[in-house]
Structure 1
Amino acid sequence: MLIEHCNPFGVDVYYNKQKGELTVKNAVPPLWKDRKRILGLPISFTRYSISQERIFVVTGIFNLHYEEILLYRVRDLGLIRNFGQRIFGVGSVVVHSSDKSKPELEIKNVRHPMQVKELLHQQVEEMKLRRRVRVNELLDSQDGNLNEDDENLMDDFDDADGSDD
């Protein structure tokens, strides 16, 4: 019988009784974690976490729903602080990504939203460099195809980096 303990906010531990093995995964602690706050208090059942490679969202009490977004897929970040959020010292970070299951994620009502957004920005840029993700903002976002102006820009970019394509 396999007993699993899944915890994206710390260390994942899996114990297999038949084999007597203990497996530890994700031993790196998260860079940031918080809960969705109601009236400035962390009394919600939505938890957020940022690791070096992913954003995790866990919602629910009895039935838990796990969602994650790979940081190199993030395209844009935004910040929302309405009047009520400013009163309670919270804000929401909006993450636009190329993720198929959740292209727009709102990290709602967390403390220090500007610092969270900046942390996300730094980690996203680091992951894109590490994964060597090419900047594809020149692609037309509607159909994913290059238009004539984009092709000219890509040619200029290729000429500037000295490639002989």
Structure 2
Amino acid sequence: MENDEDHDEREIIKFSFSNRYYLTGPVRFCAGLFMVWLPALRRYTLTDQRLRIEIGVLSKHEDEIELYRIKDVHYRASLFERMMGIGNIEITSTQVGGNYLYVKAIKNPRRVRELIRDTVQKSRRRHGTREFDNFSDN
């Protein structure tokens, strides 16, 4: 089994909030005033070891989820979101401190979901990790 120290982390994809969601309807003018800033508020980077979440413009906060801890990845999109070519991804993990991560209004959400899913499977194989659900009769 390969050690993490022997493996250089490789970036798979970077993605962020899509401006398209807020550039329609009556909010167009107000949203246009700060559209340049919105994508910078939350950025995601998928590597072959973890999913990094960077939040903020002036002050930054970075969080990450180890890929082998990701349990489920779901895609959700309303009719309007599908028409705009955007959608949402819900990630369930076994990470302590937070089991859910919502990635909202991103471009190509199905492609991103599949990249996350495939990369999670590769990470689990590399770590020799298996997922078990605990069903108890309480």
Q: Given the two structures, how large is their TM-score scaled by the length of structure 1?
A: 0.63
Q: Distance in 1 between matches of 2:84 and 2:99?
A: 28
Secondary structure (helix, strand or coil) at the match of 2:68 reads: helix
Q: Does 1:133 align with 2:114?
A: no
Q: Does 1:36 align with 2:17?
A: yes
Q: What's 1:47 paired with?
A: 43
Give CA deviations for 1:93-124 in whole Å, capped at 9, x if unaligned. 11100011221001111111111111111111
Identity of matched residues, %:
22
Which of 1 and 2 has greater Rg?
A: 1
Q: What's 1:69 paired with?
A: 65
Once the two structures are superposed, the pairs formed by residues 1-165 of structure 1 within 5 Å of their partners are 28-40=9-21, 43=36, 44=38, 45-137=41-133, 139-140=134-135
| Residue ranges of structure 2 left out of the alignment (5+ in a row) | 1-6, 24-34
**4+ residue stretches of structure 1 with deviation over 2 A?**
26-29, 38-43
Q: Distance in 2 between matches of 1:77 and 1:28?
A: 22
Q: Distance in 2 between matches of 1:129 and 1:29?
A: 16
My pick for the range that moved more, 93-102 or 26-35, is 26-35
Amino acid at match of 1:80: R
Shift of 1:37: 1.7
Amino acid at match of 1:39: R
- Of structures 1 and 2, the one scoring higher in RCO (CA 8 A, sep 6+) is 2
Q: What's 2:3 paired with?
A: none
Taking only aligned residues, the RMSD between alpha carbons, in angstroms, comes to: 2.1
User: What is the aligned residue count?
Assistant: 116
8 Å CA contact 1:36–1:48 kept in 2: the answer is no
Give CA deviations for 1:116-161 in whole Å, capped at 9, x if unaligned. 1111111111111111113312x22xxxxx66xxxxxxxxxxxxxx
| Residue ranges of structure 1 left out of the alignment (5+ in a row) | 1-25, 141-145, 148-165
Secondary structure (helix, strand or coil) at the match of 1:67 reads: strand
Q: What's 2:26 paired with?
A: none
Q: Distance in 1 between matches of 2:123 and 2:78?
A: 31
| Structure 1 residues 133 and 69: alpha-carbon distance in aligned structure 2, compared to 1, 3 A threshold | same
Q: Given the two structures, how large is their TM-score scaled by the length of structure 2?
A: 0.74
